Amino acid sequence: MDDTHNNRTSLAKGAKDIAKEARRQAAKNFTKAVDRASDEYSAHRSYNRFQNEDEEDGNYNTYSRQDEHYADKADNDEDGASSDATEGHDDEDEIYEGEYQGVPAYNDGKPRDGQVALGQPVSDSLKSRKELENERQADEEELAQQYELIMQECGHGRFQWQLFFVLGLALMSDGVEVFVVGFVLPSAETDMCVPNSGAGWLGSIVYLGMMFGAFFWGGLSDKVGRKQCLLISMSVNGFFAFLSSFVQGYSMFLLCRMVSGFGIGGAVPIVFSYFAEVLAREKRGEHLSWLCMFWMIGGIYASAMAWAIIPHYGWSFSMGSAYQFHSWRVFVVVCALPCVSAVVALTFMPESPRFFLEMGKHDEAWMVLKHIHDTNMRARGEPERVFTVNRIKIPKQLDELVEMQNESANPALKVLFKIKAELRGIWLTFMKCFSYPVKDNTLKLAAVWFTLSFGYYGLSVWFPDVIKHLQADEYASRVKIHTNERIEDFTFNFTLENQIHRNGVFLNDRFIGMKFKAVTFIDSSFLNCYFEDVSSVGSFFKNCTFVDSFFYNTDIDDAKLTNSKVINSSFHHNKTGCQMTFDDDYSAYWVYFVNFLGTLAVLPGNIVSALLMDKIGRLSMLGGSMVLSGISCFFLWFGTSESMMIFMLCLYNGLSISAWNSLDVVTTELYPTDRRGTGFGFCNAMCKLAAVLGNLIFGSLVGITKAIPILLASSVLVGGGLVGLRLPDTRANVLM
C-alpha cells in the first residue's frame, strides 16, 4: 500500500512539474511572438501606469497582462513553488525602485536580422506617399494620447515652474523690444539729427524685422528644435540690441534694431510651443495664460527704466564732437539685460521631448521625460517613485528627397547649400499649414491675429499721440507774445521758453549760457549782439537781421535762420550734432508714466483670463474680449482731456489682454507638433505686419479726425472677434 501511495504521489508531482514546465515554455513562446509581432501590434500602446498603492502594497513594477496571467498561476501552485519571475533569483542582483535601469530599448516592430516577422505588411518602399502619410497620421494620433498619459505620469511641479520662469524671461524680452521703440524714438531721432522725412522709420523697421523673424525662427524650430532655435534667436537679439546703443549713424542704428527685431521675432512662437509641450491637458490653458504675464512685465520694466534713465541727460559722456553717448543709449543697454538672462538660463534646460519624439529620437525623449518625472517627484518628497514608461510610440519617419552635396566643395558653398536646404524645409512645412485638416484654421487664425493686432497697435500709437496733441494745444495756449520791444545793453543768462517776439530790436545785448525752448523771433533785428554757449530746441529766427554780431559755441545754424540776413557777423566753434531736450522736460516723464499705467492696466485681465481660461473656454474669451474691446472704442468720443484719454487707454488694454492670451493658447493647440512653430510663426508675422500698417494709418490721422480711427478700430476688432468664434474649441484636445 505504501509503495502504491508513493508511486501515486510521485506521479502527481511529476504531472505538476510537467504542467509547470509547459506553462513556462508557453509564456516564453508568447513573449517571443510579441517581439516579432507585425506593425499592427507595434502600434499598440505599451505604456503601463502605476498600480494602485493600496492594492499592490507599494509595488510599482508592472507587467503585461499575459505575463501577469502566467505568473499568478505559478504563484497559486499547490506545492508553493516560486514564480517564474523569481526562480533562480539572486538577492545581490535585486533592482530597487528609484535605481537607474538604463534607457529601455525601442522596438519599432520591425523584424530583427535573420528573422521574418509574423504578418509583416507590405514594405514601405512599395507604398505610395499618401499611404505612408496616412500611417504617420495614425501614429501621431496614438502618440498624442500616449504622450498625454505620460505627462500626467510626470506630474506638474518643479520642472514646469523652472521652465516657466526661463521662457518668461524670453517673452519679457519681446515685450521690452516693442516698448523700447516708442521710448527711444524721440531721443534717438533728435540726437542723430534725423530730418522729418526720416522720422518714424525706426518703429516700422523694427516691426518688419520681427515679422520676418517670427516666420523664420518659428519654421526653423520645427526642424532643429525649440531650445536651439530660441537660444540662437535670443542671442542675435541681445548682441545687436547691445551694439545699437553704441553706433552713431542713424542708418547703422536702424540696421542694428532691425536685426535685433529679427532675432526677438522668434520668441513668441517658440516660447508657447515649447512650454505647451511639457504641460498636461488640464494645466495647459491656465499656465500658458500665466506665461503671458511676462509680456506685461516686460512693458512695465521698459516703462520704469525709461522713466528712471532717459530724462537724466547728465548720464552721458562724449569723445570730442564725433561720439556722443546720451542717457537713452544707457536705457537701450539696460533693456538688453532680460534677453541676456534668458540666454544664460535657457542653456540649462532640455529640449522639448515632444519634438524629439516627432523627429524619431526615442531615447533622447525618454531621457528628458525621465528627468521631468524625477525632478517633480523629488520636489514632492517621493524620490522612490519609478518612471515606468517602457516604450513610446514613434511616428513613421518619411524620407525626404535631399540633393547631395560634393564633399570636396568649397566650405562657403556648403554653408549656402545648408541654408538653402533649411529654407526649403521651412517653406514645405509652411505649405503644410494650408493643407487639410488645418487649412481653414490657418486662414481664420491669420484673420484674427491681423485684426486684433491692427486695432491694438494702431490705437497704442494713436492714444499717446493724441495725448501729445492735447498737451501741445495746451502748451500753445500759454504762449507769451512780445511785440515791438526794444532791449539795449542787457545780458540774457536764463532760459526763454514758449515765447514769440515780433518786430523786436536787440541792441548791444549779450546772450550767454542760456537756452531757447520753443521761442520764435519774427521780423526782429540783432545789432552788435554777442551769443556764447547758447542751446536751442524748437526755436527759430524768421525774417530776422543780424548786423555786427558774434556767435561762439552755439547751435544756431542755417536750419534755424529762416529767410534771415547775416551782415558782417561771424560764427566760431559752432556746436555739432543735435541738442537733446532739457533736464526739466516734463513731457518725457508724462509719456513714460502714461505707458506705465496702460501696461499695468492689463494685470486684472491677465489674472481673470488665467483663472477662467479652462472654465469658460478659449473661444468665448477670445470672441468676447475682442467684441468688448471694439465697443469700448466708442467711448473715445468723450476723450476731450488728458485724464479721460488715459482712462480710455487703460480700459481698452484691460479688455483686450484676454483676447491676446486666449489667442496664444488656441494657436498653440490647433497646430500639430510638426508644424506648430511654423503655424504660430506665420500668425505672429501677420500680427507684426498689421502693427506696421496700424502705425502708419492711425499715426497719419492724429489731430485730423476722431471718427475714422474709432470706426476703423471698432469694425476690425468686432469682425475679428466674430471670426474667432468660428474656430474649433481646443479645450479638450491633446497635443497632436
Compute the radius of gyration of the chain from its Cα atoms: 36
pLDDT at residue 29, as a whole number: 59
Distances (CA, A) of 616 to 207, 351, 620, 632, 664: 33, 32, 7, 22, 16
Is the pLDDT higher at 647 or at 133? 647
Decide if pLDDT at 607 tops 80.
Answer: yes
CA dihedral sign, ordered 691, 697, 703, 709: negative
**pTM of the predicted model, to two decimals?**
0.73
DSSP 3-state of 565: strand
Lowest mean pLDDT among 95-104, 168-177, 436-445, 582-591: 95-104
DSSP for 150-191, please give it: HHHHH-SSHHHHHHHHHHHHHHHHHHHHHHHHHHHHHHHHHH
Decide if pLDDT at 260 tops 80.
Answer: yes
Reported as type and span, the H/E element at residue 317 is strand 317-319
Q: How far apart are CA 497 and CA 519, in angstroms?
A: 6
Which residue do the cell numbers 526755436 mark?
539
Provide the grid cell at 563. Answer: 529767410
Decide if pLDDT at 76 tops 60.
Answer: no
Q: How far apart are CA 536 and CA 560, in angstroms?
A: 9
Decide if pLDDT at 307 tops 70.
Answer: yes
Decide if pLDDT at 57 tops 50.
Answer: no
According to DSSP, residue 397 is labeled: P
Residue 583: Cβ within 10 Å count: 10
Most confident region among 116-120, 287-291, 640-644 by mean pLDDT: 287-291
Is the pLDDT higher at 620 or at 199? 620
Residues 6+ apart with CB under 8 A from 236: 259, 260, 262, 263
Mean pLDDT calculated for residue range 458-484: 79
> How much of the chain exceeds pLDDT 70, in percent?
71
DSSP for 530-545, please give it: EEEEEEEES-EEES-E
Q: How far apart are CA 183 and CA 329, in angstroms?
A: 11
Decide if pLDDT at 47 tops 60.
Answer: no
* Residue 581 exposed, middle or buried by CB count within 10 Å (0-12, 13-18, 19+): middle
Instruction: Report how far Cα 471 is from the mean position of its chain's Cα atoms.
Output: 35
Q: How far apart are CA 553 and CA 575, in angstroms?
A: 6
Instruction: Report how far Cα 227 is from the mean position of its chain's Cα atoms.
Output: 13
Decide if pLDDT at 18 tops 50.
Answer: yes
Q: What is the pLDDT of residues 534-555, one digit of tens each?
A: 988 888 999 999 999 999 988 8
Decide if pLDDT at 303 tops 70.
Answer: yes
pLDDT at residue 313, as a whole number: 56
Residues 6+ apart with CB under 8 A from 58: none
Q: What is the pLDDT of residues 319-330, one digit of tens each?
A: 545 566 777 888
Decide if pLDDT at 641 tops 80.
Answer: no
pLDDT at residue 702, as a whole number: 64
Tell me the pLDDT of the chain averaged across its residues.
Answer: 77
Q: How far apart are CA 697 and CA 458, in angstroms?
A: 7
279 contacts 151 by C-beta, under 8 angstroms:
yes
Distances (CA, A) of 110 to 20, 42, 122, 123: 32, 8, 12, 10
Q: How far apart are CA 25 and CA 520, in angstroms?
A: 105
Q: What are 497's strand-pairing partners?
A: 517
* Residue 167 exposed, middle or buried by CB count within 10 Å (0-12, 13-18, 19+): buried
Q: What is the pLDDT of residues 358-410, one digit of tens each?
A: 888 888 888 999 999 999 899 888 888 888 878 887 776 665 544 545 555 57
User: What is the C-alpha end-to-end distance of the chain, expressed in Å?
Assistant: 74
Which residue do the cell numbers 507595434 mark?
42
> How much of the chain exceeds pLDDT 90, in percent?
24
pLDDT at residue 582, as a whole number: 43
Distances (CA, A) of 647 to 134, 312, 473, 479: 55, 28, 20, 28
Decide if pLDDT at 45 tops 50.
Answer: no
DSSP 3-state of 603: helix
